[in-house]
Amino acid sequence: MLLSLIVTACLLQATLISGDTISVTNGGPWGDWGMTEYCPPGTYARGFNLLVEKPQGPLDDTALNGIELYCSDLTTIFKKGTISSTKGSWGGWTGERWCPSGYLTSFSLRVEQPIGIGDDTAANNIQFRCSDQTILEGNGGVWGGWGSWSGACQLGICGIKTRVEKAQGADDDDTSLNDVKFECCEIW
């Protein structure tokens, strides 16, 4: 019991980034990497929301456009910070998803690989594993397939960096969000 209280007290102070980055191998190839954003000191990513464009029929589809992480300490699920990196400009927010307890530790991306002539969408959806082993799947797009799981951040995810293709113009194919990397937390 005492050891559990000490570990919890230490985790509440986790504010540094360990320098470890988790990523997946199936991200899309287009766009530029944005700036990394970090959770406020003493918080972890415990929930998320997705910016998703619904299927557009015969028009250009982009699917996943952005990811927001919700940072909180381990005593509450009230947001103490919202972080994101670069986002696309299409779609709407699909609804918050929270770990029942604990924090986000790893992820998997659903990505449509380049199809050549046609409508590419790149990243479509994301799922996270929580420290309590719950898996939270986003309400993203339906194209492509799930890749393998990333490595795990043992003390939680504290930072996000996205790769987003800027708008290509009226006659070109847009993909928006292509890939994402997350930074791991560290105890000091």
Distance CA 38, CA 35 (A): 10
| pTM tops 0.75, yes or no | yes
Q: What is the pLDDT of residues 109-161, one digit of tens each?
A: 999 998 877 787 889 999 999 999 999 999 999 989 999 999 999 999 999 99
Residue 92 vs residues 36, 51, 137, 165, 172: alpha-carbon distances, Å: 22, 5, 17, 18, 22
User: Could you state, in order of their start, the residue ranges of all structural domains in the chain?
Assistant: 2-186
Radius of gyration of the chain (CA): 17
Q: Using DSSP, state whether 168 is helix, strand or coil.
A: coil
Given 3-state DSSP classes, what are the helix, strand and coil percentages for the chain, each rounded to the nearest 5? 5, 40, 55
Q: Which is more confidently placed, 2 or 86?
A: 86
Q: What is the pLDDT of residues 7-20, one digit of tens each?
A: 444 444 444 455 79
Name the CATH topology of 2-186: Vitelline Membrane Outer Layer Protein I, subunit A (2.100.10)
